[in-house]
Structure 1
Amino acid sequence: MKLRPEGKHLEYKKAQNSLPKDFWETYSSFANTEGGRILLGITDDLEIHGVTNPQKIQNELFTNLNNTQKVNRNILSDDNILVQTLDGKTIIEILVPEASISQKPIYMNQNPKQSWIRDFETDRKATEEELKAMLRNSQDDLDSDLLEGFDILDLDENSLSEYKILLSQSDSRFQSMSNLDMLIEIGAFKRDRTVTEKLEYKLTIGGLLFFGKYNSITSAHGLQNFHLDYFNYINSAERWRDRVAPGEPGYPNINIFNFYRIVLSKLIATIDSEFELDKSLKRTTYVRDIEVSLREALANSLIHTDYFSEDSVKIEVYNSYYSFFNPGKMKISVEEFINGGTPKPRNHTITNLFRKVGISERAGSGGPQIFATAQNNKLNFPNIELGQNSTLIQIWKVDIADAHPDLEEHEKAILKLLTKEMLPQSSREIKDKLGLSKHYFDKAIKNLVSANFVEQTGQGKATKYTLKTGTREYLASLQQMFNLLQSYHTLK
């Protein structure tokens, strides 16, 4: 058996007679990052020495796992341990899962500063910012605490006026309310229950972030790095064409509500780009669907941001896609995001303020809508990248062929055909429909199959080709089928 070299999710340790001391650093780093496998009995230069007493080592492992003076949390069970023989020698394989957000950080010696992170094939101590982020993520709510020394004068009057107009459209009571009464009603101000002799309401962190003047927001403890950025790079490889950010001309008081309204308007204005749509698609449907995706992605980023991070929200527009980056790792899995269901926002007050005016109204609906847009309009499926404390969602304006400009023209033509056709296509069908010679077809299809764009089934004359269905596409397809079934049963 040929061993793979160590990597981000694989670590070897000699461990002939006992559990090595540095095992716990790797246990912590895998648990705090993306999980991984530790193989005991193999050196880091891939020499198989084996372990002499596997039972002793397992007993030592679980004794320490359940000793809070050694490690703060045990996330392993017997199912995570596998004793096997390799080249005639006994080795122990330990599968360390990624800890849940509520379990992190996993640390050693009763000291949170002994939290470790996996970087490529090495373990390193978590930085102060990474540790703080893990501790914040373990909390259910980051923005509902009350602020001392802040009041309604720290809020932007224009933001309050615009928000009241939106509220009044569904509830006329708000038209005659004072701004303070409105803020209490919607939860931006909350009662301070530590004060018993009188009723006293104080501004919440979420209320300040949502409505605040920029200088007031950045003067609050922990929010000095608050920053929201929008860049338009369409037809501009280097410098942006348009920007929205605090300090830019015309934007003296950027808060979450102002940023959402301004940026959504700018995003929608970029939808009708120069790309030619397939004639089978209706432009009105395409524009409406993309608008829904952009609204959901923008609200999702602002609702789930870790505003105490040193990083900032960044919304970017390029010729072929939109990018939504926010500090704060998504609290649910990618699969859960795609399928919908119960969301886990880290900012309950901000979430509530958005929903009061019908923004991101249906809990958990954003992910399915974003992916349904891609599927219905035959666009390249969205990319989701989760960092240690960040989330990036890319929404494409174009199909899978145009999303990969490095492809040859014949390769793009085949991808566009397979995107359009509902059924798998034979080589003859593809060549006839595209007018390709055998030489160009064979070269193109070989590259597409090896690059995992196209899936080949059958043999000989029965060979068929179809788009490769990845996990996200498959889940989105299942979600759409489920929605159709629900609609069918409702009609019955």
Structure 2
Amino acid sequence: MTEAELLTLIHGGENICVEFKKSTNDITKDVYDTVCAFSNRNGGTIVLGIKDNGEILGICPDAVERMKKDFVTSINNGLKINPPLYLQPETYLVDGCILLVIQVPVGSQVCRHHGRIFDRNHESDIDITDNSDLVYQLYARKSGSYFVNKVTRFQLCDLRSDLIERARMMTASRTANHPWKSMSDEELLRSAGLILKDQEKQIEGITLAAILLFGKDTTIMSVLPQHKTDAIFRIENLDRYDDRDVIITNLLETYDRLIAFGQKHLSDPFVQEGIHSVSARDKILREIFSNSLAHRDYSSGYVAKFVIERNRLFTENANRSHGHGTLHLSAFEPYAKNPPISKVFREIGLADELGSGMRNTYKYTQLYSGGMPEFIEDDVFRTIIPLTSVAVEKIGPCEKTQVKTQVKTQVKTQVTIYDEILAFCLEPHSKAEIAKHCGYKNTKNFTLKYIRPLLDNQTLKMTIPDKPNSRNQKYITNMPI
């Protein structure tokens, strides 16, 4: 969440998914009531340091770290919050005031705070513990909404211990003192909501989500024979394919193979975000694959797909839709389709907060291809990423000499252009002369993208520094080549 998005959220006031808490020096008890209510309803955002009317008070700077520590400790305590939740408050500075923001995802199980059950109703957290009808409806909603929560008769021996250990190590690499680090395999699965009790059948066992994440291939096929992901590269042979990988395995290795397939067939040009170079390709692949795997409807027989074509790539997966049509970033309301899988993906670093994937995909698609992605919600969820011709012509099984030559003439990395500018400006030149020399017509964009960074790091200087907008302004290299 950006500062602008947080301000928009604050100006929108409290609602069923947003709650403000004064909490300027301590985490008050009602914060945990709200966490419980959000987890039991649709998830939501808690902002600490704000009055109910939206007035920003801020948090005492000396109390920030203590409050964060107290919250994380309490929220992981099964005697206080059951089942334990793994949430991390984020610090924001708004109008000179420190705020703590807590994103609470919708839970796959009924959540209790000190044994009490809370639900969200408009702007209030309602204790429904003694209302048997509301409690029954809540349990029915949780058990009926998530196919992957179905309890099976399989045991720990039907899972791969090496995958569980991999998840444990991935969480430890991100958070040094993560609770999973010291847990046994069974404790880890229970804390992640992957071992549940079926109240109707009176059996306890691992869930379908656990099997999808950590199951042996034979175990997965015995309970979900329809589970498959088809990766296709289709550039030359449009009727069939040029390369293909049919993936029938656990979600962690499915993710690995999809990433490898995308990296194999998509180029990775130089992209600069701020002062750092990033792989926009890998950022996009991470977001669309984690979304496809964590939110698809695994009860459906529809085969999930990842397809790379000449001018686009897209994913398709079965979906329990909460609307129809194209999703827009400004009006998008995220909804967790498989909370246990999403939770594990977040903990091991394959996904972030709910809704961030869409924002990141927009951001990195514009850096990668200059286009805008599409997210289409229906019974089949589709994500479409536009591509430039360079993205698929640079590599692949049908690579040819003329394609290599074409790519070489089409692609100039920013590093090469920076060097070219500095070499050209050993003698003074105007902005228009520099842009023309580098093959660019749009002087304004060229200045923002190339000349301004060189001026900022003082490798290029103005010949008339006192009059930066002078019509006679020229630029000369400020360092030896």
TM-score (norm 2): 0.45
TM-score (norm 1): 0.44
